A and B are shown apart, each in its own frame.
Chain A
């Protein structure tokens, strides 16, 4: 079983829809949670960063972490065609010289105009 599981999609939604992207994980030591967005043939870019449980909002994007359920989510409100990309979750335990990020496999999102 992978440490981080992510539904690969593809997920197709109409413009203006609310999108929910999710990851589950098995390692209870994870404390830092990130969402990256990757456009086709580009490098991943950091979208959201959250520490421990709770919500974080940035414009149309909201990241949620539920450590008790080992479940994280990214919500996109009023989705736009420009949001069409692959969304990768990533997480780490934090601290230490050898601490590393563990990535999900990514969810491909298509927002139809």
Chain B
């Protein structure tokens, strides 16, 4: 069964500090992996997307890494800001013959940035 597991489940850090969120998946073969940011009560917004051949992708203070051999990804946030407080969701898209739309979502890491 395809699964995506994220850790930690929740995290509190001080403003200005860095943090790293983890994602382990069992989806295979997979097409791409994305990280989404979801503010409370809002829809998820894409931060990064990587194919299986890419091992790093940056978007401002967000840097995602991917190790397709160990089936692990991480999202590193640099110099955190209060506005980074949100849920971060790892999403894996499988390769499906004939196309397809099925994504496998993690439960997310709830990040809170405090003063």
Answer yes or no: do A and B interact: no
Q: Show the binding face of B for A, using Cβ within 8 Å.
A: none
Q: Show the binding face of A for B, using Cβ within 8 Å.
A: none
